[in-house]
Amino acid sequence: MASVGVRGITGIGQIRFRIFRGRTEIFNTQQGIESTGSEQNYVVTFQAEDINVKAGTHVYTVTAENVAANTRVDVVGPITFSGLAVKTRPLTLQKKRMAKRS
């Protein structure tokens, strides 16, 4: 889960947020950010699920990029980014255990 505080400065910016595992993009979303005369301050929150990840150590990165020309959006904080690793049972094992209970 990630949260990023931003402020619209000029125009209506379009911020593309991305999450990477290593160099591989695993998620992206886009948010419109209005500026002066309207809503200016936002905390954008998003979450993603990374599935079928091999065991081991992984580096995750969050990026924010304004993709709208001639607009300006500043990252003003707060910025939070957290994750959780969960081990799941193989689906076939779950089905076998459920069948035994029936």
Quote the pTM value: 0.79
Give the pLDDT of the chain (102 residues) as one tens digit per residue: 999 999 999 999 999 999 999 999 999 999 999 998 777 899 999 999 998 888 889 999 999 999 999 999 999 999 999 988 777 666 665 555 666 665
DSSP assignment of 23-48: TEEEEEEEEEE--TTS--EEEEEE--
**What 3-state class would DSSP assign to 69?**
coil
DSSP assignment of 9-24: EES-EEEEEEEEETTE
pLDDT at 89 (0 to 100): 66
**Polymer length of the chain:** 102
- Closest listed residue to residue 64, CA positions, set 18, 7, 3: 18
Domains of the chain: 2-101 (2.60.40)
pLDDT at 51 (0 to 100): 86
